[in-house]
């Protein structure tokens, strides 16, 4: 995969006019509010598979299904500059992205497959996921001391054998694995004829006898279908045509996937932050304490203003990062770390503030805010902990400054 191919393909789209997009956004907004929100599960519950399928069918009928997927498989193939407004509309409901088929990890897997899969792999894997017929997962994270925030610690091994590859290793926190039709597996490989030492991505079908989905890790979030279980690979044999991209280049491909995936998480959760603030503003305008509506009290106004500022600054860094990713994926990947840290912390602050303003109801099931906080809190850990991103941001900044201040040779 060449750098030019990555850049040219980042948008995954044919052209769409601003007017066409605005009509799609408005339809999506109405669909989420009128169709999806009435079907939301109770706080802390998961979306039932039959409800998900029904909502996806309704989304197809409404013309809002699969906004980011390729057109050849029924999607809208939106260019990256339109991702955020659309995904914020979808994220206004915690089940909105599932209903529209733009939820993690499928959305990021579709992006990766669209960029580097062979025509046969596109038909076999990308098509069914894009059409909502199949879910997928991305198997990279491992039990300690394996890969987590540090992908270079990868312990799962893919070994070349006659006719294909054997995969051996343990994975954990594999979002969506329970019920997924296939996994994209990251495994370390040794150097061999024509293949450099590094990491390789392999496509493994759910019915492969060498792959086993294990126990679920119970987490506070509930929005991702299939949970976050363990996945084991024991002499898991796949043929050569299961290689995604080129062997030995898996770390490079992972960055192609992970940078946009971090950003789309920010977009979806920002939609939920807007929903939280709307719920809170409705309450603040109606509820009277100390002789005035809450929204007219100075301390409440400070909290509301800070929430608005967090939402707007998050929107701004998302928009800038999307633009950079479209033109310069390498620079966009670095900026996506900044966006991920800022948005995950700002969105958490917004929803926490909304809970505070709503008092006792905020921490109860009378309002959905506490369940929203449970959804967004893990994002400060998922996709690389914020502390790891801050470390990388600081290192890049110091290195860039050193380059700027180096004296040219005499």
DSSP-assigned states of every residue in 164-191? EEEEEEEE---TT-TT-SEEEEEEEE--
Which structure tokens are listed for 99? 């209903």
Which residues face 168 on adjacent strands? 157
Cα 212 from Cα 153, distance rounded (Å): 22
3-state secondary structure of 211: strand
Number of domains observed in the structure of the chain? 3
List Cα–Cα distances, 317 to 258, 332, 349, 391, in angstroms: 17, 11, 16, 19
Let me know whether 196 and 222 are in one domain: yes
All residue ranges of the chain with pLDDT < 50 are 1-13
Let me know whether 264 and 399 are in one domain: yes
pLDDT of residue 26: 98
Let me know whether 398 and 256 are in one domain: yes
Residues 105/176, Cβ–Cβ less than 8 Å: yes
pLDDT of residue 244: 98
Domain with 7 in it:
3-134
Let me know whether 127 and 141 are in one domain: no
Listed residues 233, 250, 267: the one ending a domain: 250
Let me know whether 77 and 122 are in one domain: yes
Let me know whether 242 and 199 are in one domain: yes
Q: Which residues contact 297 (CB under 8 A, 6 or more apart)?
A: 289, 290
Listed residues 215, 250, 285: the one ending a domain: 250
Burial tier of 388 (Cβ tally within 10 Å: 0-12, 13-18, 19+): middle
Predicted structure pTM score: 0.93
pLDDT of residue 12: 43
Query: Does a structural domain hold residue 75?
Result: yes
Listed residues 250, 280, 312: the one ending a domain: 250
Let me know whether 125 and 177 are in one domain: no
Query: Does a structural domain hold residue 410?
Result: no
Let me know whether 58 and 94 are in one domain: yes
């Amino acid at each position: 995969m060449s750098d030019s191919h990555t850049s040219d393909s980042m948008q995954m789209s044919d052209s769409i006019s601003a007017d066409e997009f605005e009509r799609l956004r408005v339809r999506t907004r109405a669909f989420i509010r009128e169709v999806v929100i009435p079907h939301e599960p109770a706080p802390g519950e998961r979306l039932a598979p039959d409800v998900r399928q029904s909502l996806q069918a309704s989304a197809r009928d409404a013309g809002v299904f699969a906004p980011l997927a390729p057109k050849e498989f029924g999607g809208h193939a939106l260019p990256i500059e339109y991702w955020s407004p659309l995904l914020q509309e979808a994220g206004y409901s915690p089940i909105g992205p599932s209903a529209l088929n733009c939820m993690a990890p499928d959305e990021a897997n579709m992006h990766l497959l669209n960029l580097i899969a062979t025509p046969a792999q596109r038909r076999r894997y990308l098509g069914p996921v894009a059409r909502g017929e199949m879910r997928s997962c991305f198997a990279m994270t491992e039990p300690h001391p394996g890969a987590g925030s540090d992908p270079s610690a990868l312990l799962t091994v893919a070994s070349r054998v006659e006719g294909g590859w054997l995969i051996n290793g343990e994975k954990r926190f594999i979002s969506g694995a329970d019920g997924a039709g296939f996994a994209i597996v990251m495994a370390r490989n040794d150097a061999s004829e024509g293949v450099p030492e590094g990491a390789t991505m392999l496509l493994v079908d759910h019915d492969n006898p060498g792959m086993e989905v294990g126990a679920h890790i119970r987490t506070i979030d509930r929005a991702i279908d299939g949970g976050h279980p363990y996945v084991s690979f024991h002499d898991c044999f796949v043929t050569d045509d299961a290689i995604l991209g080129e062997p030995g280049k898996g770390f490079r491909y992972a960055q192609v996937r992970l940078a946009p995936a971090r950003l789309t998480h920010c977009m979806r959760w920002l939609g939920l932050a807007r929903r939280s603030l709307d719920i809170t503003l409705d309450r603040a305008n109606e509820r009277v304490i100390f002789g005035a509506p809450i929204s007219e009290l100075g301390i409440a106004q400070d909290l509301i203003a800070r929430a608005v500022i967090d939402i707007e600054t998050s929107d701004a860094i998302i928009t800038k990062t999307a633009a950079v990713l479209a033109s310069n994926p390498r620079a966009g990947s670095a900026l996506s770390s900044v966006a991920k840290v800022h948005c995950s912390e700002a969105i958490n602050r917004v929803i926490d503030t909304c809970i505070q303003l709503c008092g006792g109801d905020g921490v109860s099931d009378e309002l959905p805010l506490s369940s929203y906080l449970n959804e967004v809190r893990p994002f400060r850990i998922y996709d690389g902990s914020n502390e790891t991103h801050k470390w990388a941001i600081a290192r890049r900044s110091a290195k860039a400054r050193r380059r700027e201040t180096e004296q040219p040779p005499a």
